[in-house]
């Protein structure tokens, strides 16, 4: 059983979307997917809504702090924002592959409802493409 951690600043938006796509793309594999933040901000309603538009319900997710997973030996640790990558506490996983990609943050946009929707759509598609390629790149047996 492989363990994957997706880490962001507040575990409210980008890491939650990544968690949802990893779970979806790896649903038939022996993999545990976790997401966490170096802080916890609760779930972002825009992230929940944009994922539902793509047929994925992440409403049951929780916003978790990375310290909650300190005893798990991760195979992959993926930071999805520069702030988490630069401020991530030490995670004691023996042989974890550590990856980083700074995804666009739609939660920072101030604008109309249409502009906000477009921002979440942009982030979702970027995250979906990255994690689809990630799943295709590595061995999951």
The question of whether 13 is a catalytic residue gets the answer no
The question of whether 81 is a catalytic residue gets the answer yes
Catalytic residue among 88, 96, 109, 135: 88
What is the rounded CA–CA span in Å between residue 26 and residue 136? 10
Question: By the 8 A CB rule, do 35 and 6 touch?
Answer: yes
Helices (H), 76-138: 82-87, 113-137
Catalytic residue among 48, 81, 119, 123: 81
Catalytic residue among 8, 31, 51, 80: 8
What is the rounded CA–CA span in Å between residue 112 and residue 130? 27
The question of whether 8 is a catalytic residue gets the answer yes
Q: Which two tokens stand for residue 135?
A: 């799943």
What is the rounded CA–CA span in Å between residue 126 and residue 129? 5
Residues assigned a catalytic role: 8, 81, 88
């Amino acid at each position: 059983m492989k363990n994957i951690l997706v880490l962001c600043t507040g575990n409210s938006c980008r890491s939650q979307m990544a968690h949802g796509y990893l779970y979806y793309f790896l649903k038939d594999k022996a993999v545990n997917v976790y997401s966490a933040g170096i802080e916890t901000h609760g779930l972002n309603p825009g992230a929940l809504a944009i994922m539902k538009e793509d047929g994925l319900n992440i409403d049951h997710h929780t916003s978790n702090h990375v310290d909650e997973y300190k005893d798990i030996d991760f195979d992959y640790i993926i930071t999805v924002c520069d702030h988490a990558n630069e401020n991530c506490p030490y995670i004691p996983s023996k042989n974890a592959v550590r990856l980083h990609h700074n995804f666009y943050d739609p939660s920072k946009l101030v604008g109309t409802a249409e502009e906000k929707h477009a921002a979440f759509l942009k982030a979702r598609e970027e995250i979906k493409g990255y994690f689809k390629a990630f799943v295709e790149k590595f061995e999951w047996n």
